[in-house]
Every structure is written in C-alpha cells, then in structure tokens.
Structure 1
C-alpha cells in the first residue's frame, strides 16, 4: 500500500494533508524519515507520525443501545443519526446491519464489514430478531396463532414467515421474526387487529443487547458474538 494511502486509512487526514505532513518530514517508516508518498508500506512495517505510531483501522463490530428519536442512517435527517453516539475515528466508513425506526429502541449492530452485515440482513440467511412489543389491547390466543402461522400484511401478496410468540403480559409479548420487511412488527400486529404502542429490539441472532448498556451507550462485540454470524 502506498504510504499516503496508509496514512489516510489510518487517520482522518485527506490525501492532500497526508502529502503535506510527508513533505514536512513528520512521518517515519521503520525509524527513517520518508517524504515520498509513493513509498510502499509492507506488512509488519511501523509508521509513526511525530513519534506516535499510526495503524490501519481493521474490521469493527459494535453493539449499540439505540434511544428513541434517532435514526439508523449515516447522515442526520429529521432526527440525528445513531453514529453521532460513537466517539471513534472513521465513522463515515461504518454502516448499520439491520435498522430500527426512529420510534423504536434497542439493539443495533454497526460495522465496516460488508460481508458480515450481509449475513445479518440478507433474506436468504433468515437471521432471527427478537422484539419486546407493547400493545394497545390485550393479545388473545387467536392472534398468537395467526402470528405463529404467518399473517398477510397490507399491500403484500404472501404471508409472513412463521414467527415465535411469547406472551409476557396481556399487552406485552416477545416476538421473534426471521424477515425484515418495512415496519414488519407493527404491520404484523395490525394484521391481527392490534396496535403496537412501543417497540424494543432485544436480540439479533444469538447476540443479546447487553443489560449494562444504557440507552445511547455502546461497546465492541466479543469474538464469540462476531463469530456467531
């Protein structure tokens, strides 16, 4: 990799800024000042900027507890992006693996690994997601059966895949689905004649939202959590 590209990939500097600090002699490669931007950096080489080592940012895997009134987008729109909650470099390179609506809270996974996120979001992988759902009216066994067999959403031609329902209280359920249709949970309950009043995602695959994370807090995933997908 070219030295100027290495500097950019390992920092927030632009290519122009990287060339400027190279020209000023602020960069060393294996202890030697290097000013040539085209110098190749090989595996195992040490690059320093003013005595501070700079290293490439590798794959990143993050669990975030999404608050209300934030969006799973790379840019701020009507609501601010959840990426604003991350105090890390190169946030623009990250993306959300499985979005939540602005009025939904809970588990969000963030990464810069496209293949990894594809295994979460692609319909062919049928990654399960579990939501705690608060309802306007008490759910009955007929509605539970409908959800577990599959319901026809408004505007759709095929019923949803069978879901798993666990009734916590009359108006609170845990709903596990393996699809990611637009507003799917809300539309599924609407198809049973009910209405979702609050929605919170607790789990994606085998990864469960860390109970110690308050809304707006985040942490890096463990190796086992990463490998589970």
Structure 2
C-alpha cells in the first residue's frame, strides 16, 4: 500500500491532506522522516505521525469509565465530550453503544462496529444494564415488586419492561433494566415518588466496568467481552 493511502486510511484524511503532512515532515517510517507519498508500506513497517504509531486495524472496541460532566456525543456547545478522553487516532470514527446522561457516571462502550452496537442498543435484543443508584428518600420494599411489574412513565403509553431492584441500604440500590428509554432510571424512581441523586452504570450485558479504571480512563475490550454480545 502506498504511504499516502495508508495515511488516508488510518487518519481518515484526504490524499491532499496526507501530502501536506508528508511535506511538513510529520511522518516517520522505521524511524526516518519520509516525504514521498508513493513509498510502499508493508506489514513490518513502523509508521508514526507526530510521534504516534499508526496501524491498520479492524473494528475497535473500548470500555470507558465515564466521569460526571461529560456527554456521550461528538459535539456539544456547553460540555466536554467523552471522545476527548481518548488518546487514539481518529476518535471521531467511534460512537457510543448506549449513552449516559451528562451527570451519570460509569461504564460506556465505544466502537466503530455498527452491527455490534446494534446488539446492545436495539429493543429487539434484550441487553441488561445494571446501575448503582442513590436516591433522596428512603427506599421501601414495595418498590421491588413495582419495578418487577413495570411502572408507568410520564408521557409513555406502555409500562416499562420488568426491572430488577436490589435494595442495598436505606437510600441506595442496584437496578437492572433491559431497555433504554430517555432518562429511564431517573424517571422510574420519579414515578414512585423518589428522586435519583447519583447514578453509576456498572454492567452492560456480561461486561462489567473494570474496577482498575479511574474516572476518565479506558481500555480495549477483550475478545471474550466483544463476543459476549454476539451470542
């Protein structure tokens, strides 16, 4: 593969833009600055752009421990996006498989594989999501049955799907849902007269948030984690 095509593929840029960064001496191949766009790149070549290694890769899959205050979109006029946390080439190629609100923290999955993320987000596929929640008022045992039977959300014609509520303390619980309506967990607690004070996603399907990841940190998913959504 020609070097300019390699740069276009890995950086998501045009051939003209590739020619410019080569002219500006921003590309190294095997430790040497290269300006020739026609140089042939083979599998054993080490290509760097601005000191960052470039590789031809297949689909990408990451888990991120989302901090509060970041939004799950590429562009926002008021808040930073989760994509600025990624130190990777062309993060704009990725999308979030199951968004979180700006003030909600925890597990976010990011990928450029649309079919894979569809298995997570489509209502046709029952994908469990578990959240740790803190609420304003003491929780009553009756909430367990209410959530298991489905609750009526304001503006919705149908009840929510059955949800599992595990009460951990007076004002804290785990809730597992299998759908992703707008602000669903917050609206479910509002429907039973309570208010969510803090919300943290711990699990999507069989994938649990890596406890070693600090807020804002991320890692690639393992092959087993990726495959778990295709079973």
Counterpart in 1 of 2:67?
67
Counterpart in 1 of 2:193?
193
Counterpart in 2 of 1:77?
77
Question: How far apart are the structure 2 equivalents of 1:46 and 1:15?
Answer: 23
Q: CA deviation at 1:58?
A: 2.1
Counterpart in 2 of 1:122?
122
5+ residue gaps in structure 1? none
Q: 1:49 to 1:209 in 2, by over 3 A?
A: closer
Question: How far apart are the structure 2 equivalents of 1:138 and 1:20?
Answer: 62
Q: 1:47 to 1:199 in 2, by over 3 A?
A: same
After TM superposition, the structure 1 = structure 2 runs for residues 7-156 of structure 1, keeping only pairs within 5 Å, are 7-11=7-11, 13-19=13-19, 54-156=54-156
**Is 1:213 the counterpart of 2:213 in the alignment?**
yes
Question: How far apart are the structure 2 equivalents of 1:13 and 1:186?
Answer: 41
Question: How far apart are the structure 2 equivalents of 1:23 and 1:35?
Answer: 9
Deviations 1:68-112 (A, max 9, x none): 111011123311001111111011101111000011111000111
TM-score normalised by structure 1 residue count: 0.85
SS for the counterpart of 2:11 is coil
Question: How far apart are the structure 1 equivalents of 2:47 and 2:216?
Answer: 33
Do 1:106 and 1:201's aligned partners in 2 also have CA atoms closer than 8 Å? yes
Moved more, 193-202 or 135-144: 135-144
Counterpart in 2 of 1:177?
177
Q: Could you say what the CA RMSD is over the residues aligned between the two structures, in angstroms?
A: 2.8
Question: How far apart are the structure 2 equivalents of 1:137 and 1:49?
Answer: 57
- Alignment coverage as a number of residue pairs: 220
Question: How far apart are the structure 1 equivalents of 2:7 and 2:146?
Answer: 56
Question: How far apart are the structure 2 equivalents of 1:107 and 1:166?
Answer: 19
5+ residue gaps in structure 2? 30-34
Do 2:147 and 2:162's aligned partners in 1 also have CA atoms closer than 8 Å? yes
Question: How far apart are the structure 2 equivalents of 1:105 and 1:222?
Answer: 22
